Amino acid sequence: MPEYKWPAMNARRVMGQPLDRVDGPDKASGRAKFSTDIKRPNMLYGALLTCPHPLARVRSVDVHEAEKMPGVRAVDVISGPGTEIQWAGTEVAAVAADTYQQALDAVRRIKVDYEILPGHLVNEADLGKAQAANRAKPAGEVVSGDPDTAFKEADVVSEGEYGIPVLAHCCLEPHGQVIAWDGNQAEFFATTQAVVAIGNDLAKGLEIPADRVHVRQDHMGGGFGSKFQAERWGLAAARLSRAAGGRPVKLHLDRRTELEIAGNRPSFFGKIRLAAKKDGTITAWESTTWGTGGIGGGGLSAALVPYVFTKIPNKRVNHTAISTNCGGARAWRAPNHPQVSFLTCAAMEDLAAKMKMDPLELFLKNVQFTARPEVYAAQLKKAAEMVNWSKNWHPRGEGGKGPVKRGLGIGIATWGGLGHNSQCRTTIHPDGRVEVELASQDLGTGTRTVIHQVAAESLGLRVSDITVKIGDNRYPVSGSSGGSTTVGGVSASTRKSTLNALEKLFEIVAPALGAPANQLEAVDGRIQVKGNPAKSIAWRDACKKMGVSPISAMGENDQRNPMGLIDQGVGGVQIADVSVDTETGIVKINKIAVVQDCGLIINPKTAESQCLGATIMSICGALYEERIMDDQTGRFLNADMEFYKLAGIKDIGEIEVHLDIAPHHDGRGVIGLGEPPVVPGIAAISNAVANAIGVRVPRLPMTPDRVLAALERRKA
Amino acid sequence: MRECHGIPGEFTLEGRKGWCLVSSEKHTDVQKRPQAGFSRRGFIRGVGLGGGAVGATIFQSTAEAAPPAPAALGPGEVAITLSINGKEHKLNVEPRLTLLDALRERLNYTGAKKVCDRGTCGACTVLLDGKAVYACSILAIDAQGRNIQTVEGLSQGSELHPVMRAFVNNDAQQCGYCTPGFVVAVKAFLDENPKPTYEQVKDGLGGNLCRCGTYVGIRKAVLEAAQARR
Ligand code: FES
Ligand code: FES
């Protein structure tokens, strides 16, 4: 068995290089094909009819007129008579027609008779109202230590209220698919974070064996946790295809439906109390939180609060899940972490403000309560240095004389990121070509690129010598891309598979080099006797010695046995520097310093992009994004991109990333990085605004009206 | 203004009919780039609805550039000719078909993407007589007689356009879904502003949105492409 461990940091030739993303040219030139771009012979276009009511029972669905509309080939009823609709946007029926416009015309002719049911609830910010409506489900109090005594004996007690609304994933490529199902086989052009799992899910829904579903996906336009399942619309599209004699059906959600039902992140509202000693040591935590993830309510693990500072000795945690008639929550990049980081870090900075203590000192004082005190202490200091904290920080509310006030604030993160189970097959062809196959997927994180780099490193080749095949469930099974588990999983399986294949090649060329196979190495496009370039053979000539049959070898990552290749557990700290115009309420990001703990970094360029993109997402969440539900109609009022706002290129200030690439981190192996940097930003920005204007803006996003209202309250 | 034949989508809520800004009678164009200090975002901020980049580009009627009003068209199909990347395409379309749908679904130019379908996000950006426009907000019949350039028309075979090269070099793409729209917008921006400052880059590209957060790379890419073109 070859030795799989990563080459020493200074011995790596391809790994660790900031190489360009291998699919960059395809993406930049518009050649990259996404699910929405797929065109198949005889393809039909699908459209959905969704329910406009948040709570209703379907009495009847009349599709007769729709069926007779020009171009219509099939109509599928998804929510038949008797179905109880629990949120607006629920799929009721679907049509497949020759053109998209014809499908939409036909959808408008479907007549649905609804019995509108009373008692919908779509807003959860008011806990009392939810309780009165009997929609609140307490998770039960969790107590550790003796919080009552700790609060009684505390030198300082601080209290605060905070709220962070539901956000939509708002992937730019909508959910949907092109699907052809003839009743036997299904061909499924998906947009997914899980080419294997989504095929299995579809097979289950269609009640066919999983190997009858062929999933394909070259590129996908964003998932962020929302694209794992085959979904109701996927099954409807398959049924439409079957009803139309197996013709492929293309059905993707329109923007309103995408925002309404294709994924969101739960809200969290909370009242938090902290007890501390005079020196800033926190002695107790008490939180009463509530939030919604849709009809199911949505939970919060008590173990997650207080966030990162989990070892605060005395705590009382209460969480209440609120069931609302809204599209259901899905995993959202670091599920629950950004919200809980915000609640925790905001409460800590409010405590510091009350004590007139520098919050950086307060955080440092309490890193003892984290799982990794040295790491967090170092990161806090590093981030502080990046924003010149010692010069630029001022006590809360002392942000200068003019109307524009400047402030700094801290946010903190933790994440796991252990590589998932993954299998990889490497094939070396007699003409020297190398193919690496995995049923994985690249969400835009750079997965395809890092697989190239690991393979090239192991085989002593260049990235351009390797062909990586992913995005097809017929390749060896690899895990879903969730939880930042992909990079660890695919890098470890690729490492093993390529070295296993290389070992076979060594055996073939060993006689020609007059050395045993285990004395050979692959370097710079040659196979040579270890440390002796004089005794070598070019890669292509070595491969010729195989004769006609290629070499093929598998490699597998087993989460339970990482073999030193992968690890989990990273921390992160971000400090935001903002300016707030107290006359207009507009918050401007000056800078965000991002310090991210990491393991072995395979590609610093794409790793940095993950940190930058995640931080920009936090800016969106802190300042702009919010799902706004109408109490009366129960509908998502801003389910478009005009009023469901994302940050633009001008709104992000300057972002400086510090990835701690150092031997002691590198030695841990590869750790996922997609999620952790999305966690601290919201807390950091909220704290920076409070520092600038002297008062907490309790509800996010910090829109101008909320900033101005907070300032009014302060004056009052 | 004659009644709009409708753009695909749902119009049942919140007075969305207001979006039928596109008429087949009067040519509706999209102003090239937002002017600093006069953007819809600025307006929205001003009225206290919060910031965030809504499509900062605004709709503007360019009556002087409008072709003569055609006779009443539709609702059936009409024969049109579109000039795309220097090539003439003849096709029959319903008057309500947007340029974006014509490009993507009828002619297989899939570089321009449909994201908001409402002139907000810029994913569908193409050039019309050299100016960046939102293809989702123009009817195909109104694009006749204009020189349409899509992202596919910017690169020659496998040779990347300098803007694309700069996007690759600066990792200005993640999932890549917003990228073609950005590339086209950047090309148009640089045609007008060959030597932009960093501040001008930030002001000039407010009409495109990215969910993955690639703006830092894009800013660098624009400056690099500007250098490369000199
Ligand atoms: S799809 Fe045209 S601007 Fe968004
Ligand atoms: S790269 Fe994914 S939306 Fe911009």
- State whether B55 and A21 contact (CB < 8 Å): no
The reply to whether ligand 1 has any atom less than 6 angstroms from the CB of B120 is: yes
Where does a domain end: A557, A592, A613? Answer: A557
Q: Does B108 touch chain A (CB under 8 A)?
A: yes
Q: Does B52 touch chain A (CB under 8 A)?
A: yes
- Statement to judge: residues A206 and A346 lie in one domain: no
- Statement to judge: residues A688 and A552 lie in one domain: no
What percentage of chain A reaches a pLDDT higher than 90? 97
For residue A306, is the peptide bond before it cis, meaning its omega torsion is within 30 degrees of 0?
A: yes
Check pLDDT > 80 for residue B46: no
Residue A634 in domain: yes
The tens digit of pLDDT for each residue in B103-128 reads 999 999 999 999 999 999 999 999 99
- Statement to judge: residues A670 and A703 lie in one domain: yes
Give residue B11's pLDDT: 33
Residue A303 in domain: no
Q: How far is the CA of A405 from the centre of ligand 2 (A)?
A: 33
The tens digit of pLDDT for each residue in A670-715 reads 999 999 999 999 999 999 999 999 999 999 999 999 999 999 998 8
A31: tokens are 């050649």
Q: Bridge partners of A269?
A: A163, A290
Euclidean distance between CA atoms A429 and A543, whole angstroms: 7
Backbone φ, ψ for residue A335 (5° rounding): -50, 125
Give residue B70's pLDDT: 56
Name the closest ligand to CA B122.
1
Q: Mutate which of B170, B179, B219 to test ligand 2's pocket (most atoms within 8 Å of Cβ)?
A: B179
Res. B71 pLDDT band, cuts 50 70 90: low
DSSP helix/strand/coil, A535: strand
Lowest mean pLDDT among A183-192, A269-278, B66-75: B66-75
Check pLDDT > 60 for residue B54: no
- Statement to judge: residues A398 and A432 lie in one domain: no
Q: How far is the CA of B208 from the centre of ligand 1 (A)?
A: 9
Residue A153 in domain: no
B129: left (phi over 0), alpha (psi -120 to 50) or beta: left
Euclidean distance between CA atoms A74 and A241, whole angstroms: 8
Give residue B14's pLDDT: 32
- Statement to judge: residues A433 and A399 lie in one domain: no
The reply to whether ligand 1 has any atom less than 6 angstroms from the CB of B59 is: no
The residue-averaged pLDDT of A559-571 equals 95
- Statement to judge: residues A474 and A354 lie in one domain: no
Q: What is the mean pLDDT of chain A?
A: 97
- Statement to judge: residues A413 and A423 lie in one domain: no
Per-residue CA distances from A329 to A279, A336, A616, B137 (Å): 41, 11, 21, 32
The residue-averaged pLDDT of A605-614 equals 98
Give residue A297's pLDDT: 86
Give all domains of chain B, ordered by start, each with its CATH number: 77-120+132-150 (3.10.20.30), 154-230 (1.10.150.120)
Res. B72 pLDDT band, cuts 50 70 90: confident
Expressed as residue numbers, the domain containing A638 is 333-417+567-715
Give residue B6's pLDDT: 34
- Statement to judge: residues A424 and A403 lie in one domain: no
Which residues, in sequence order, are CB contacts of A697 under 8 Å at separation 6+?
A686, A689, A690, A706, A707, A710
The tens digit of pLDDT for each residue in A528-555 reads 999 999 999 999 999 999 999 999 999 9
- Statement to judge: residues A597 and A483 lie in one domain: no
Check pLDDT > 70 for residue B148: yes
* In contact, A418 and A672? CB cutoff 8 Å: yes
- Statement to judge: residues A113 and A238 lie in one domain: yes
Euclidean distance between CA atoms A34 and A187, whole angstroms: 15
Q: How far is the CA of A557 from the centre of ligand 2 (A)?
A: 30
Euclidean distance between CA atoms B107 and A382, whole angstroms: 53
- Statement to judge: residues A547 and A492 lie in one domain: yes
- The tally of domains found in chain A comes to 3
The residue-averaged pLDDT of B1-29 equals 33
The CATH number linked to A73 is: 3.90.1170.50
Q: List A residues 141-180 in contact with B (Cβ-Cβ < 8 A).
A: 170-174
The CATH number linked to A585 is: 3.30.365.10
Give residue A303's pLDDT: 85
Give residue B69's pLDDT: 59
Report DSSP state, residue B106.
I
Where does a domain end: A557, A582, A598? Answer: A557
Name which of B14, B50, B202 is nearest A650 (Cβ-Cβ): B202
* In contact, B48 and B54? CB cutoff 8 Å: no
Which residues, in sequence order, are CB contacts of A319 under 8 Å at separation 6+?
A138, A139, A287, A289, A290, A291, A299, A300, A302
Q: Does B72 touch chain A (CB under 8 A)?
A: no
Lowest mean pLDDT among A163-167, A637-641, B154-158: B154-158
Where does a domain end: A557, A587, A620? Answer: A557
The tens digit of pLDDT for each residue in A118-168 reads 999 999 999 999 999 999 999 999 999 999 999 999 999 999 999 999 999
Q: Which residues of A touch B9 (CB under 8 A)?
A: 104, 254-256
A666: tokens are 């590198």
- The model carries a pTM of 0.93
Name the closest ligand to CA B123.
1
Handedness of CA A34, A37, A40, A42 (dihedral sign): positive
The reply to whether ligand 1 has any atom less than 6 angstroms from the CB of B41 is: no
Check pLDDT > 70 for residue B33: no
Q: How far is the CA of A178 from the centre of ligand 2 (A)?
A: 21
Euclidean distance between CA atoms A350 and A695, whole angstroms: 9
Res. A298 pLDDT band, cuts 50 70 90: confident
* In contact, B140 and B160? CB cutoff 8 Å: no
Q: CB contacts < 8 Å between A and B, how many?
A: 241
ipTM value for the complex: 0.97
Give residue A423's pLDDT: 98
Res. B30 pLDDT band, cuts 50 70 90: very low
Backbone φ, ψ for residue B19 (5° rounding): -80, -10
A559: tokens are 């989460």
3-state helix, strand, coil in chain A (%, to 5): 30, 25, 40
DSSP helix/strand/coil, A386: helix
Name the closest ligand to CA B182.
2
Residue A14 in domain: no
Check pLDDT > 60 for residue A660: yes
Which residues, in sequence order, are CB contacts of A273 under 8 Å at separation 6+?
A151, A157, A158, A159, A284, A285, A286, A287
* In contact, A240 and A250? CB cutoff 8 Å: no
Residue A154 in domain: no
Which residues, in sequence order, are CB contacts of A211 under 8 Å at separation 6+?
none
* In contact, A476 and A438? CB cutoff 8 Å: yes
Q: What is the mean pLDDT of chain B?
A: 78
Give residue B16's pLDDT: 31
Euclidean distance between CA atoms B208 and A259, whole angstroms: 19
The residue-averaged pLDDT of A342-348 equals 98
A657: tokens are 């990333």
- State whether A173 and B51 contact (CB < 8 Å): no
Give residue B56's pLDDT: 37
Residue A41 in domain: yes
The residue-averaged pLDDT of A200-211 equals 98
Check pLDDT > 90 for residue B59: no
Helices B162-169 and B215-229 pack at an angle, to 10 degrees, of 140
- Statement to judge: residues A629 and A571 lie in one domain: yes
Cα of B167 to nearest chain A Cα, Å = 7
Residue A573 in domain: yes
Check pLDDT > 70 for residue B131: yes
Res. A302 pLDDT band, cuts 50 70 90: confident
Give residue B158's pLDDT: 80
Check pLDDT > 70 for residue B31: no
The tens digit of pLDDT for each residue in A5-29 reads 999 999 999 999 999 999 999 999 9
The residue-averaged pLDDT of A582-602 equals 97
Closest CA to B202 of B188, B184, B220, B225: B220
The tens digit of pLDDT for each residue in A59-87 reads 999 999 999 999 999 999 999 999 999 99
